[in-house]
Structures are given as structure tokens and as C-alpha cells.
Amino acid sequence: MVTHIRMSPYVPDVIPDSDRRYFETGDGAPRAGWGDTPAVLVVDLTEAFVEERPEVGRPCVEETERLLEVARETETPIFYTTPSERGTYPRAYPKPTKTPEEQEASPERKEWLEKLDKIPDTIAPQETDQVFSRPRASAFFDTHLANQLHYYGIDTLIVAGMTTSGCVRATVVDGHSSNFRMIVPQTCVADRSIISHEVSLFDLDMKYADVTPREEVQSRLRERATDSA
């Protein structure tokens, strides 16, 4: 059964008063709600992104660890993505725009690249989890993620990871376009830029996803497990 409710949208303090007044004329953002079969997707929560701005990256890992504990407890499927290594692209595959060639990278950049696919131990994939290597921002682009989700009958995708304004946002938009119900626990995502993080969450909540407290997501997973027992 799909649940549709209306509730107050996610409106951070950085949103200007003019925008607040515009959105207050309605009755809040409609919720996508939950379907019957959720899964968790951890997007690029690797050491490279976490250490780039640790004051936001490390709390994101801790919050995601709490989310994953309940996902495993309730036997909710878990998927991960990491960026594709440059050498694994097809020969004619163009490099991502605004990404420097590795041979031109500084020593600091090369050290960062070495950590690009290393997931912190506390949230590392287990044997039953699946990890997808993605060549672009969206976890759905040029990967088999959607096929796997459909194979398992997944209709609701809980997205954690980094960065909110980049790969998380691209994944949520594509997931919405593929008719998955998208849930984003706001403390389980993070960004290099605080304002980009907050505005992205606001926009995602208005259009593509339900931005939801992590505790509420955990409660829903436990309720589902109890109902199906």
C-alpha cells in the first residue's frame, strides 16, 4: 500500500523570505510517500569525499551508520555506488566535464583520487550488498542499478551519501524519473558547501523526494518489518 500524506516542507533558514511567502501560499509540499518495498542506496560516501570536509563528512558517515544498522536489522536491501576508475572507461568514453586529466593532477589531487572508491570501515558493504561503479553523477546513468532494483521489486529508495548538490541530487532526480519513491534522510547526506546542501535539500523536497529525519526513516523500516512478520 502506498501512503500519501501532506506535511510541512523542508525549509532551511537560508531560504529568503520572498520564497517562503510564495511557498506558504500552498498547503505544503505533497509527500511522495512510501511504497511496499524499500531499499537503501549509499551514494559515494567514500573517504575522498568525507575527508575533503570532515566537519560535515564524518557526521554524515555516523548518521548513515545508524541508518544502515536498522536496514540490516530489518533485512532491507542495501546498495552502494562509487565513482568509476578512469582506466575502466571504454576507450572512446569522454572524461567528465570540469574534471582534470589525472596526469595533470597535483600530488594532493592524486592522493584524493586514491581514496575515491574507499568506503569507510564503519559503513563498508557486506557480502550481501551490491556496489555499483558509476561513470557520471547519477547512480542510474550507464549502470545496471535500475535493473537490479526492479528485479528485487524495489519501489522506494532511501538515499544517503555525498554530495547533496552533486551525485545525491542527480541520483534522486533520475530515481524520481524512473518512478521510484525517493526518501532522503537529511542528516545522512552532506556537501562541501553548506548553502548548496540546504538549498538542494529544499529543492529536492519540493519536487522529487521526501526529505525526512533519519529517526523517522528508521521507524518506518521497523514498522514495515513488524507488519510483514
Residues designated catalytic = 167
209 secondary structure, DSSP code: -
Could you give the 3-state DSSP secondary structure of residue 5?
coil
Q: How far does CA 195 lie from the centroid of its chain?
A: 17
Q: Are 2 and 34 in contact (CB under 8 A)?
A: yes
CA–CA separation, 136 and 178 (whole Å): 17
Biggest CA-to-CA distance, the chain: 56
Long-range contacts of 48-54 (CB under 8 A, 24+ apart): 48/112, 48/113, 48/114, 48/115, 48/116, 48/118, 49/162, 49/163, 50/120, 50/162, 51/115, 52/112, 52/192, 53/190, 53/192
Q: What angle do CA 23, 28, 32 make, to 5 degrees?
A: 125
Indicate the Cα dihedral angle 65, 67, 73, 76, nearest 10°. -120
